Chains A and B, each alone.
Chain A
Amino acid sequence: MERTSLHNDSLLYASLIAILLLISYWFTTRCFKIISGIEDSVEDEFELSTVCHRPEGLEQLQEQTKFTRKELQVLYRGFKNECPSGIVNEENFKQIYSQFFPQGDSSTYATFLFNAFDTDHDGSVSFEDFVSGLSTILRGTIDDRLNWAFNLYDLNKDGCITKEEMLDIMKSIYDMMGKYTYPAMREEAPREHVENFFQKMDRNKDGVVTIEEFLESCQKDENIMRSMQLFDSVI
């Protein structure tokens, strides 16, 4: 009797010891994981911020764009002030742009803009990209500007604007107005607007707007031509 009970007891003790050891092991590994996890993330963040970019010289930029020297200086100072590292990534871009539209949500439109400015598609907008985009819009001919706008609308850069792309753009514009507008924004407003747009622009009614149709229709529309001239006086 005693032997069996002893045998039973020793089994019990062994299992108890094993459980205690397991618990302590689990605790220590958890602590290690937490500590090391924190350090890892700190290191990661540190790496990103050391990337820096310097633009080409002032003379080269002067040649490439249509800005004067002074204008380039002013632009660069403003650019560098907001982005000390010299390049803008999408998050920064969205944040900067959202400060101009306090009431709405401008992040979608900002993404489209970012893709339009980022001509080499490397995920960041450097000062050269920035300034060349601005040069086209502010100092280019009307055709240049219309081309740039077309490029903005053409989300997948395939040379034509489909209704879905236009709808995305339209929704992002309406998003910027925010919720509190008068008259209250209806769900179908962007869609109707897109329909209007296509009616005006799509000559051959094939459901897409090509660059030629776009240019042609815009040149015929007096409102658009006049609003394009607004950009002459921005800087």
Chain B
Amino acid sequence: MAAGVAAWLPFARAAAIGWMPVANCPMPLAPTEKNKRQDELIILNVSGRRFQTWRTTLERYPDTLLGSTEKEFFFNEDTKEYFFDRDPEVFRCILNFYRTGKLHYPRYECISAYDEELAFYGILPEIIGDCCYEEYKDRKRENAERLMDDNDSENNQEGSMPSLSFRQTMWRAFENPHTSTLALVFYYVTGFFIAVSVITNVVETVPCGTVPGSKELPCGERYAVAFFCLDTACVMIFTVEYLLRLFAAPSRYRFIRSVMSIIDVVAIMPYYIGLVMTNNEDVSGAFVTLRVFRVFRIFKFSRHSQGLRILGYTLKSCASELGFLLFSLTMAIIIFATVMFYAEKGSSASKFTSIPASFWYTIVTMTTLGYGDMVPKTIAGKIFGSICSLSGVLVIALPVPVIVSNFSRIYHQNQRADKRRAQKKARLARIRVAKTGSSNAYLHSKRNGLLNEALELPGSTEEEQHMTKGTSLIESQHHHLLHCLEKTTGLSYLVDDPLLSVRTSTIKNHEFIDEQLFEQNCLEGSMQNYPSSRSPSLASARGLGTSCCSRRHKKSTHLPNSSVPATRLRSMQELSTIHIQCSEQPSLSASRSSLNMKADDGLRPNCKGAQITTAIISIPTPPALTPEAESRPGPGSPATNAPGAAASVVKVSAL
């Protein structure tokens, strides 16, 4: 429930008037407001700038510094205000969070300063609203990269590296040539040989002057031996390099599949194939074709050039745009080629012999090359030819700058769309977990509530205070509302969504039902999270109070083993069903710090409420301090139940 909506709770409770006349069962008692304080303004002095707000505004998030009693440490008796020696600019955002329920990240703020402030005030950064979340994450990532870079350079300077294996050192040397002199030498040598190889390929074909008595030869054939030696040397170097990389690669399979390794292979294969094949006339044609692949050696330069790599990557990411351009071009080409063919069909000795033959004309005209080898002769052909060249200008010249600007726009947009999709999933998960959080909270406090009702009658006020200390008034009122709804319909809430509970790995509540029956029936699959904290030896089924509404549930719960470890907050749920029995319960330290300890849960921490219940507002409050309840011996016999609360009160029997 969002913070602001808490103010509408009286309305929601009033709206329950519609349920009362149709309810079959009597309604549970409303939580009374003990120590109802008039809402007061409190003054927060942050480095001299005074902020004022209602006390209840701050108490919306009891798990933060300002919402809990931790702020009392900062209370200044002389000036009767809370003084914080922190940044007032960031405090503005934080206070707005209490007011609106949304935490914003101001763009001008430094990310690490902001994080520190959030940590100080006990607010988790994950609850930053979606409007600012992307920006926050971007900045955080940049910062992390910067830190990593700093660390790396520190490491390099210190020279104290953890001892890597020889293989790892080699891989590092290959990937980052600046790590050692040897790597640098290797880098330059390979670069040199790539250049030599490419130049050789090019020069090979240049006509080199005549041998007397025959026609002009290309250099490759005149100095065949020299070129062959050069080629061999280059291929040797490339082969050695490839094999070394293969040896050093951390994941050989992945390395083999990578683009660079394919280029390497393609670059050196022709030579070996040429070696293997004899000078057969038949296959020499194919062999010549293979030599074309030697030009791929030039792509090996991409290891040496950052720019080439970026270009390749951006082309890859803009493939769809380029594809669309090609597609529209193709469409236009086909249309105009067809038109030109039929237009020129009548004229004699026309070069437009078929539609595919007209393709060439269309392409040349549309790209405004205009070789002039194919020219329309009929008037209609000339008309359409001119339309073709005009539209060519439009079709090609216009999209190109658009595509160029699309590069950066689409690239960033894709990234944002992916981020948003991930965010959306995370946000839906958050919402769902918040829902289960609030319903868990409700179920949890229902137990406490019933406990409370049982106690209330014979109990004293201080006991009540102990019991409800953990839940705020708003929560207890909300739970009372949900309880009334249950009573009206005669049904009771379960934890939502078996899928969700598995995914978020929260513990399942035992519901207020016959556990054994239910387990057997429905929720066997989803209860699997819970096995470890239940002892199969628990057998005592207690016959609890019957409910009304024409049905008698046998409500039973398990007596928890005393071996339930108390430090695991997961067992909180278990403990909540501990009745007012004498059971030795190790005391729980349900402090705020322990809440923060559960970082391993994989839940968005905002929704720790799912674990700890009592969170309407999706930030958990300290769980109800049930240890106090447990340590008390049971109030004894059910006979103390006053007649008024007859049907809905848990009858506790001390076994």
Counting CB contacts under 8 A, is A176 at the interface?
A: yes
Interface secondary structure of A, over-half rule = helix
Contact call A193/B496, Cβ cutoff below 8 A: no
Q: How far is the CA of A234 from the CA of B478 in the complex (A)?
A: 11
How would residues 412 to 453 of chain B score, 1 for a CB under 8 Å from any chain A CB and 0 otherwise?
A: 000000000000000000000011001100000000000000
Q: Which residue of A9, A78, A182 contacts B343 across the interface (Cβ within 8 Å)?
A: A9
Counting CB contacts under 8 A, is B275 at the interface?
A: no
| A60 partner residues in chain B, CB cutoff 8 A | none
Contact call B14/A173, Cβ cutoff below 8 A: no
How would residues 585 to 612 of chain B score, 1 for a CB under 8 Å from any chain A CB and 0 otherwise?
A: 0000000000000000000000000000
- Given the known inter-chain contacts A100-B478, A149-B18, A193-B24, please indicate yes or no for A138 contacting B488, CB distance below 8 A: no
Q: How far is the CA of A82 from the CA of B346 in the complex (A)?
A: 77
| A189 partner residues in chain B, CB cutoff 8 A | 489-491
Contact call B7/A173, Cβ cutoff below 8 A: no
| B20 partner residues in chain A, CB cutoff 8 A | 149, 224, 227-228, 230
Counting CB contacts under 8 A, is B410 at the interface?
A: no
Closest residue of chain B to A16 (Cβ to Cβ) is B339
Contact call B342/A181, Cβ cutoff below 8 A: no
Closest residue of chain B to A109 (Cβ to Cβ) is B18
Counting CB contacts under 8 A, is B188 at the interface?
A: no
Contact call B23/A223, Cβ cutoff below 8 A: yes
Interface positions, chain B 25-68, Cβ under 8 Å from A, are 25-27, 30, 32-33, 38-39
Contact call B30/A81, Cβ cutoff below 8 A: no
Closest residue of chain A to B391 (Cβ to Cβ) is A20
Contact call A197/B491, Cβ cutoff below 8 A: no
| A235 partner residues in chain B, CB cutoff 8 A | 10
CB of B515, distance to nearest CB on chain A (Å)? 11
| A146 partner residues in chain B, CB cutoff 8 A | 21
Interface residues in B, total, Cβ within 8 A: 63
Counting CB contacts under 8 A, is A102 at the interface?
A: yes
Interface centre among B7, B38, B481, B518 (most CB of A within 10 A): B7
| A134 partner residues in chain B, CB cutoff 8 A | 10-11, 14
CB of B627, distance to nearest CB on chain A (Å)? 28
| B38 partner residues in chain A, CB cutoff 8 A | 70
How would residues 535 to 568 of chain B score, 1 for a CB under 8 Å from any chain A CB and 0 otherwise?
A: 0000000000000000100000000000000000
How would residues 164 to 204 of chain A score, 1 for a CB under 8 Å from any chain B CB and 0 otherwise?
A: 00100110011011101111110001000100110000000
| B327 partner residues in chain A, CB cutoff 8 A | none
| B22 partner residues in chain A, CB cutoff 8 A | 166, 169-170, 173, 193, 197
Closest residue of chain A to B31 (Cβ to Cβ) is A233
Contact call B497/A137, Cβ cutoff below 8 A: no
CB of A21, distance to nearest CB on chain B (Å)? 11
Contact call B11/A185, Cβ cutoff below 8 A: no
Contact call A177/B489, Cβ cutoff below 8 A: yes
Closest residue of chain A to B11 (Cβ to Cβ) is A134
Q: Which residue of B13, B380, B494 contacts A9 across the interface (Cβ within 8 Å)?
A: B380
Closest residue of chain B to A23 (Cβ to Cβ) is B335
Closest residue of chain B to A138 (Cβ to Cβ) is B14
Q: How far is the CA of A230 from the CA of B71 in the complex (A)?
A: 35
Q: Which residue of B383, B484, B491 contacts A181 across the interface (Cβ within 8 Å)?
A: B491
Contact call B24/A196, Cβ cutoff below 8 A: yes
Q: Which residue of A181, A182, A193, A233 contacts B30 across the interface (Cβ within 8 Å)?
A: A233
Counting CB contacts under 8 A, is A54 at the interface?
A: no
Closest residue of chain A to B26 (Cβ to Cβ) is A223
- Given the known inter-chain contacts A81-B4, A137-B14, A182-B511, please indicate yes or no for A103 contacting B21, CB distance below 8 A: no
Closest residue of chain A to B477 (Cβ to Cβ) is A234
Contact call B9/A100, Cβ cutoff below 8 A: yes
| B229 partner residues in chain A, CB cutoff 8 A | none
Counting CB contacts under 8 A, is B198 at the interface?
A: no
Counting CB contacts under 8 A, is A218 at the interface?
A: yes
Q: How far is the CA of A233 from the CA of B19 in the complex (A)?
A: 17
Closest residue of chain A to B7 (Cβ to Cβ) is A78
CB of A118, distance to nearest CB on chain B (Å)? 13
- Given the known inter-chain contacts A100-B478, A177-B493, A223-B23, please indicate yes or no for A137 contacting B17, CB distance below 8 A: yes
Interface positions, chain B 62-121, Cβ under 8 Å from A, are none
- Given the known inter-chain contacts A82-B7, A152-B18, A214-B21, please indicate yes or no for A233 contacting B33, CB distance below 8 A: yes
How would residues 5 to 19 of chain A score, 1 for a CB under 8 Å from any chain B CB and 0 otherwise?
A: 110011011001000
Interface positions, chain B 458-488, Cβ under 8 Å from A, are 477-478, 481-482, 484-486, 488
Contact call B10/A138, Cβ cutoff below 8 A: yes
- Given the known inter-chain contacts A13-B343, A75-B10, A81-B7, please indicate yes or no for A178 contacting B19, CB distance below 8 A: no
Interface positions, chain B 250-298, Cβ under 8 Å from A, are none
Interface residues of B (CB under 8 A from A): 1-2, 4-5, 7-15, 17-27, 30, 32-33, 38-39, 339, 342-343, 346, 380, 383-384, 387, 434-435, 438-439, 477-478, 481-482, 484-486, 488-497, 511, 513, 518, 522, 551
- Nearest 5 Cβ contacts at the A-B interface: A78-B7, A102-B435, A181-B491, A227-B27, A137-B14
Ordered by A's residue number, 19 sampled pairs between the chains whose C-beta atoms are within 8 Å are: A9-B342, A9-B346, A10-B380, A78-B8, A82-B7, A134-B10, A134-B11, A138-B10, A138-B14, A174-B491, A177-B486, A178-B493, A182-B494, A193-B22, A193-B489, A227-B23, A234-B14, A234-B30, A234-B477
